[in-house]
Amino acid sequence: MNTLLNNKFLVIFLAPFLLGGITILSFPPYNITFINFFTFSILLFLILLIKKRTQPKYRKKKSTRYFFYLGCAFGFGFFLFGNYWITISLTHDEVFKGLIPLALILIPLFLSLFFGLAVLLIGGFAEKNIAFIFLFSLVFSIFEFIRGTIFTGFPWNLISYTWSWSIETIQVLSIIGTYSLSLISITFFSIPFLFFQKKIFKKNIFFLLFFIIIFVINYSYGIIKLNKANYNLDKKLNVTIVSPNFSLKDYNTKSEELQLKRLIKISDPKEHQKTLFIWPEGIFYESYLEDIKKYQNLFKEKFSENHLIILGINNFFIDEDIKNEKYFNSLVVLNNKSEIIALYNKVNLVPFGEFLPFENIFSKFGLKKITRGYNSFSSGSKREIIDLGNKFNNKLILPLICYEIIYSGKIKNKNQFPDLIVNISEDAWFGKSIGPYQHFSKAIYRSIEEGTFVARSANKGISAFIDPNGRVLKSLNTGESGNIQLNFPYYYQSTLFSNYGNKIFLLIIFLYIFLILIFKYLKFNEE
C-alpha cells in the first residue's frame, strides 16, 4: 500500500483522473449518487497526502504545483467522460471531423483548470478535520459558480445535479438554488474523509449524525412540499408539445416542406380547440424567418384561428448603421396565417456551437462555429416575457432556447412572472449519448427554482411537461415521436430563490466562512 502511495504518477495524475471519471456515474442517466461519497473523500485524502509529501521532511522545498496537477487531473477525467458527447456534434459535417480529437482533449483540459485552481488554493490547508471539509466544499463550489459565469459560462454537471432522480431532496432548490445545493452536497459527500483515520473520534460521529439529520429534515420538507402542492385548475390553456424525432440526415435528404407536413400531422390540430403548439428548435433548416411566408397556405389549411405555434428558426437582418448582417437563433410565435405574433432572439449562445469566442483570432486558424452557416450568431439584447394575447387570456411565457435552460438564477428578471417556461431544443446533435439526459435534468431544476411549469420540446431529446415542483407530468423519451397534451392551469408561485437568485448563494458562502473560522479556532477534531 505504501509503495502505491509513494508512486507520484498514480497519486497526482492517474488516481484523480479515474476519480473524476467515476464521478460522472452520479449524474443522469446513471444516477449512482452514493459514488460521490467515495470519489470526493478519496480526492481529499490525496490532497492531504500530497501536502505531507511536499513538506520539507520529504523535499528541500515545498512544491504547490502538484495540487494544481491533481485538481486538473480530476477535472480532466470529470469533463472527458461527462462531456464527450460534445464531439458527436462534429460528426455531422465532414468539415469538422478532423477537429474531434482536439475537441475531445482541449475542451475538458480547459474546463479542468477550474478544478486545478480550486485544489491549488486549498491544498496547503489540508488537514484531517471538519474545517478543511468546509473549506474544500466552499472553494470547490465557488469555482463551479465561476465556471458557470465566466466567458458566457458553462454550468453543466454542477454537483447538485447528482440529486436529479430524488425529487424530494431537491425541493430545497426553491429556497437556496442549485449552486448552494452543490456546496452543501460536496460537504455531505466529503464526510467519509474524516474516517480515513486510525481511530474514529466521537466528534466525527456527531458531525456525521448532524448531517444525516439535516438530510432527513430536508427530505421531509420535500415530502411535505410535494403533498401540499395545489394548483388552480379553473383556468386552463391547452398546450401540445410535439417531438418529431427527425434525424439530422433527414434534414439533408428530405425537403423542408415534407418535414413540415410530417410535423403538422404529428401535431394533430383540432380546429375548434384553442391550443398552443410547441415545436422544437431547428426544424426549419432551409428557411430563415423572412421565408416563412412561403408556407402560408399550408398553415392556413391545417391550423385555425384558435391555434398558436411556437417554433425555432434562424433569423437575420442587416444593421444599416454598421452595414453588417446579424444572424440570430430565434424563437417565434406564429398564428395560423404564419404571421409573427412574437419574436425572441437567443441571448445565451453556445460557445463554438453558435458563436466563435475571440472570432477574429480563431478564424485565422480555420475554426468556425458548428451550426448552420459558419458565421457566428449574434446574441439577443435581452430576454422578455412573451404575452400570447387576449385570445389566449394573456398567458405569459418565458422563452428559453436549448442551452439557456442550464443557467441557474439567470433565466429571468425578478420582476418577471411567467405562467409557463417554454424550452425548445435540438438534441439530435448529440446522438444516442448521455447528453440529452443531462440536458433534461436542468429543466427539472429550473422549474423548482422558479416555481413555474415548464413545457419542453426537444427533437431527439426528452420532451416533457414539468410542474413547479419538478415532477414530470407527461414525457416523450429520446427516439420517440408524437405529441403530449396538457391543460395547463394558470399558476405562478414566486419562490425565495426566484426573488433573490444567487444572492442566497453569497449568504451561504459567508455562513461557511464563519463555520470554518469557528471550527478552526476551536481546533475541532484536529489530530
Radius of gyration of the chain (CA): 25
Percent of the chain residues topping a pLDDT of 90: 60
User: Catalytic residue at 354?
Assistant: no
Q: How many Å apart are CA 50 and CA 54, to the nearest integer? A: 6
Q: Which of 168, 281, 354, 449 is catalytic?
A: 281
Q: Are 488 and 421 in contact (CB under 8 A)?
A: no
Task: Give start-end residues of each CATH 3.60.110.10 domain in the chain.
Answer: 236-490
Segment among 107-121, 282-296, 310-324 with least mean pLDDT: 310-324
Whether residue 363 has pLDDT greater than 70:
no
For residue 526, the model assigns a pLDDT of 54
The residues with which 376 forms a beta bridge, in sequence order, are none
User: In whole numbers, what is the pLDDT of the chain averaged over residues?
Assistant: 87
State how far Cα 248 lies from the chain centre.
23
CATH number for domain 236-490, candidates 1.10.490.20, 2.30.30.360, 3.60.110.10, 3.10.20.440: 3.60.110.10
Q: Are 119 and 514 in contact (CB under 8 A)?
A: no
Q: Which of 51, 128, 302, 346 is catalytic?
A: 346
Q: Are 440 and 95 in contact (CB under 8 A)?
A: no
Q: Which residues contact 207 (CB under 8 A, 6 or more apart)?
A: 130, 191, 194, 525
- pLDDT average, residue stretch 114-122: 97
Q: Which residue has the higher pLDDT, 458 or 318?
A: 458
Whether residue 361 has pLDDT greater than 90:
no
For residue 364, the model assigns a pLDDT of 44
- Which pLDDT band, with edges at 50, 70 and 90, does 58 fall under? very low
Q: Which of 72, 354, 402, 449 is catalytic?
A: 402
User: Catalytic residue at 72?
Assistant: no
- pLDDT average, residue stretch 470-498: 89
Whether residue 74 has pLDDT greater than 50:
yes
Phi, psi for residue 475 in degrees, rounded to 5: -155, 160
Grid cell digits, residue 386: 412573451
CA-to-CA dists, residue 233 to 230, 418, 447, 491, angstroms = 9, 17, 18, 9
State how far Cα 119 lies from the chain centre.
23
pLDDT one-digit tens code per residue, 282-302: 888 878 888 888 999 999 999
Q: How many Å apart are CA 196 and CA 199, to the nearest integer? A: 8
Angle at 386 between CA 381 and CA 390, to 5 degrees: 150
- pLDDT average, residue stretch 318-339: 81
- Which pLDDT band, with edges at 50, 70 and 90, does 523 fall under? low
Q: Write out the DSSP string of 91-152.
A: GGSHHHHTTHHHHHHHHHHHHHHHHHHHHHHHGGG--SSHHHHHHHHHHHHHHHHHHTTGGG
User: Catalytic residue at 281?
Assistant: yes
